[in-house]
Chains A and B, each alone.
Chain A
Amino acid sequence: MKRWFLFLIIAVLLSAACTRASRELETAADVEVQLMVEPAPPVVGEAVLVITITDETGAPLEDAKLDIKGDMAHAGMKPVLATAERGEGGVYRVPFEWTMAGDWFVTIRGALPDGRTFSRRFDVSVGGEMDMNMDGS
């Protein structure tokens, strides 16, 4: 009986949850986002994120406001946060830091002057300082 009750609760909660905002990334189809990292391959320590933003024709978008959040794949590590306001020729160079080796997710959320917003997520595998050669391939 209790079991059914439990499943009922879960079912109700699941259907209520379809609308959860933080689950979805809004991917404005007409904005292209590319991410490159320096140094490459990435290692623990200071880094630069090179983010290129263009429209669907390839024309640079220079005035996007970017919110960047780097999370580790595992729970419990404080994310690395960064922002950027302007990118010459659509290229935004953002100082960043990989605080631990491992698998990272870099989430880039942006807003264009015309009010359109977009977001993209990239995964980046960061090597330790010592095992660059082991990891980089």
Chain B
Amino acid sequence: MTTRSATAPSFDLLHAAIIGRVLRWRWGRLLFQIPLLFLALLIIYDGLTGPQLAPENMATVSAWIHYRGLVMLALLLVGNLFCMGCPFTLPRTLARRISGRGRRWPRALRNKWLAIALLFLIFFLYEWLDLWASPWLTAWVAIAYFAAAFALEALFAESPFCKYLCPLGSFNFVASTISPFQITVRSRDACRICESKDCIRGGENALGCGLELYAPQVRSNFDCTFCLDCARACPHDNVALAARPPLRELMRDAWPHRWDVAFLALVWVAASLSNAFGMVPPVYALEASLLTWLPFLNKALVLLLIFAVLNLAAPAALGLAASWLSRSLVRSSEPLRRVFARYAPAFVPLGFGVWFAHYGFHFATGALTIVPALQNFLIDHGIFLLGDRPNWALGPILPYSWLLPLQMAFTLIGLLATLLVLGERNRQIVSSSSRHSILALLPWAALAIALAFAAIYLFTLPMEMRGTMSMGH
């Protein structure tokens, strides 16, 4: 048993009673993956063969109500639990055995630009094809996921899918930077004298980190799938999944100072707003007027234009403008990239608040619709375990009147946290360089406040659930 140094985490999930053993167990991850694999197969099966009315189909209800709501809850309370139980990596593990050594992922693509493009693409497809209203397409999204994860694993030596491509992963990586648990080590001294470094290299019968993170240096949840391979590989049982103070990661300078990483965070925040914007009356009015002004465009291109502006151009322009202003106000000559990378991560709590408010709304209004959908599914297969008639009267789990106040509260808590992080990041730089002052903070704080109020405005608008069907009429 290694001695604990002063850095030993106060609460370590991996060494908690029972749950710790389960998590560190060789097949611990499978325990989470198998239920999710069944769920994914159910989504494919019911999506392709079941009723095509979205509220009656397990695929659409579980993917768009439960997955989205519960994944936010897990990120808030624990961490990146979806990636931990990700079913798409299961056939991939097989692919690795079949393919043996593939080539390395190209150097030019070892960054987040493709991940940003795919995150953008999935949000666009979601809106354009109305995935939420189509069990059939929802099933095909799941099939495409299995196929892509498998193909990439068969072609390449490491695990590029999670790190460089997967949009669900990118979403979870950004969001999990506010999660209360993070991979770390119990004793730094043990790592210093450790020669095998199995946590990253892999050992006799355990894989090293597929995302190429080195446990003693992990300071961020970014890129960590919570797969716990590092913990299983470490011969000294030195890896911890430790509780950390809220916002610590964002307040410390824990992210690489890179354009792509900081931009991914801002795109993710912008998408939290545009995704909610996709459901309120002004978006339909905007689509209609764009179609009259730009008659050579069709519906898909109009939507692509709106989304490119909201999800890519706006975060780029606003982020650069704020960086430039922030730098000019204190007459600093710091590279823009550093300014951008210092303040952009601070927007994650605000984005989290807005995502949580939005997906939480759908979960709160529709969590129980899974019951009649499941009854319907069972009855279709001659199983009358849950009765012989679906109880369609089930739906909400919270009174409707609570929802708007809750949505506002989540957004404002997110804003408050973002302002705190901005202030702390600014304080650090002020104390390390005499050039800086509180002024550098102003453009960023103004941007955060504006975004939060835009979100609250969106939540006060009546929601509409329109599909491509009516648009095509």
Instruction: Tell me, yes or no, whether B150 is within 8 Å of chain A by CB.
Output: yes
Report the stretch among B323-331, B387-395, B442-450 that lies at the interface.
B387-395
Tell me whether A73 and B469 are in contact in the complex, defined as CB-CB below 8 angstroms, given that A20-B380, A129-B462 are known contacts.
Answer: yes
Q: Are B369 and A78 in contact (CB under 8 A)?
A: yes
- For chain B, residues 96 to 121, give those with C-beta under 8 angstroms from any C-beta of chain A: 98
Q: Are B50 and A73 in contact (CB under 8 A)?
A: no
Q: Are B54 and A3 in contact (CB under 8 A)?
A: no
Tell me whether A100 and B464 are in contact in the complex, defined as CB-CB below 8 angstroms, given that A3-B91, A9-B41, A17-B49 are known contacts.
Answer: yes
Q: Are A134 and B64 in contact (CB under 8 A)?
A: no
Picked from A13, A100, A131, the residue with its CB within 8 Å of the CB of B49 is A13
The winner among B95, B284, B465 for most chain A CB atoms within 10 A is: B465
Q: Determine the residue in chain A with the shortest Cβ distance to B52.
A: A23
Instruction: Tell me, yes or no, whether B20 is within 8 Å of chain A by CB.
Output: no
Q: Are B49 and A101 in contact (CB under 8 A)?
A: no
Q: Which residues from B are CB-within-8-Å of A78?
A: 365-366, 368-369, 392-396
Instruction: Tell me, yes or no, whether B57 is within 8 Å of chain A by CB.
Output: yes
Bitwise interface map of B from 40 to 75 toward A, beta carbon under 8 Å scored 1, else 0: 010011001111111111001100110000000000
Picked from A73, A81, A128, A134, the residue with its CB within 8 Å of the CB of B133 is A73
> With A and B bound together, what is the CA distance between A100 and B110 in angstroms?
45
Q: Are A22 and B467 in contact (CB under 8 A)?
A: no
Q: Which residues from B are CB-within-8-Å of A17?
A: 45, 48-50
Instruction: Tell me, yes or no, whether A88 is within 8 Å of chain B by CB.
Output: no
Q: Are B392 and A79 in contact (CB under 8 A)?
A: yes
> With A and B bound together, what is the CA distance between A78 and B371 in angstroms?
11
Q: Determine the residue in chain B with the shortest Cβ distance to A125.
A: B470
> With A and B bound together, what is the CA distance between A81 and B463 in angstroms?
21
> With A and B bound together, what is the CA distance between A28 and B44 in angstroms?
31
Q: Are B49 and A102 in contact (CB under 8 A)?
A: no
Q: Are B380 and A77 in contact (CB under 8 A)?
A: no
Q: Determine the residue in chain B with the shortest Cβ distance to A17.
A: B49
Q: Which residues from B are CB-within-8-Å of A107?
A: 53
Q: Which residues from B are CB-within-8-Å of A29?
A: none
> With A and B bound together, what is the CA distance between A73 and B51 in angstroms?
12
Q: Are A14 and B48 in contact (CB under 8 A)?
A: yes
Q: Determine the residue in chain A with the shortest Cβ distance to B364.
A: A76
Q: Are A74 and B55 in contact (CB under 8 A)?
A: yes
Interface residues contributed by chain A, number (CB under 8 Å): 40
Q: Are B50 and A74 in contact (CB under 8 A)?
A: no
Q: Are A2 and B55 in contact (CB under 8 A)?
A: no
Tell me whether A74 and B53 are in contact in the complex, defined as CB-CB below 8 angstroms, given that A10-B44, A14-B48 are known contacts.
Answer: no
Q: Are B50 and A103 in contact (CB under 8 A)?
A: no
Tell me whether A22 and B50 are in contact in the complex, defined as CB-CB below 8 angstroms, given that A75-B132, A101-B464, A129-B462 are known contacts.
Answer: yes
Instruction: Tell me, yes or no, whether B285 is within 8 Å of chain A by CB.
Output: yes
Q: Which residues from B are CB-within-8-Å of A6?
A: 91, 146
> With A and B bound together, what is the CA distance between A121 and B57 in angstroms?
16
Q: Determine the residue in chain B with the shortest Cβ distance to A107.
A: B53
Bitwise interface map of B from 2 to 41 toward A, beta carbon under 8 Å scored 1, else 0: 0000000000000000000000000000000000000001
Q: Determine the residue in chain B with the shortest Cβ distance to A2.
A: B94
Q: Are B285 and A131 in contact (CB under 8 A)?
A: yes
Instruction: Tell me, yes or no, whether B248 is within 8 Å of chain A by CB.
Output: no
Q: Are B465 and A123 in contact (CB under 8 A)?
A: no
> With A and B bound together, what is the CA distance between A41 and B191 in angstroms?
70
Instruction: Tell me, yes or no, whether B281 is within 8 Å of chain A by CB.
Output: yes
Q: Separation in Å of the B132 CB from the closest CB of chain A?
A: 5
Q: Are B395 and A44 in contact (CB under 8 A)?
A: no
Instruction: Tell me, yes or no, whether A40 is within 8 Å of chain B by CB.
Output: no
Q: Are B130 and A77 in contact (CB under 8 A)?
A: no
> With A and B bound together, what is the CA distance between A118 and B69 in angstroms?
37
> With A and B bound together, what is the CA distance between A103 and B94 in angstroms?
43
Q: Are A102 and B466 in contact (CB under 8 A)?
A: yes
* Apart from the given pairs A20-B381, A74-B54, 5 other A-B contacts in the complex at a CB distance below 8 Å: A2-B91, A73-B469, A100-B463, A102-B464, A103-B470
Q: Which 9 A-B pairs have the closest CB atoms?
A: A78-B395, A76-B366, A17-B49, A102-B465, A75-B60, A2-B94, A76-B65, A101-B464, A73-B467
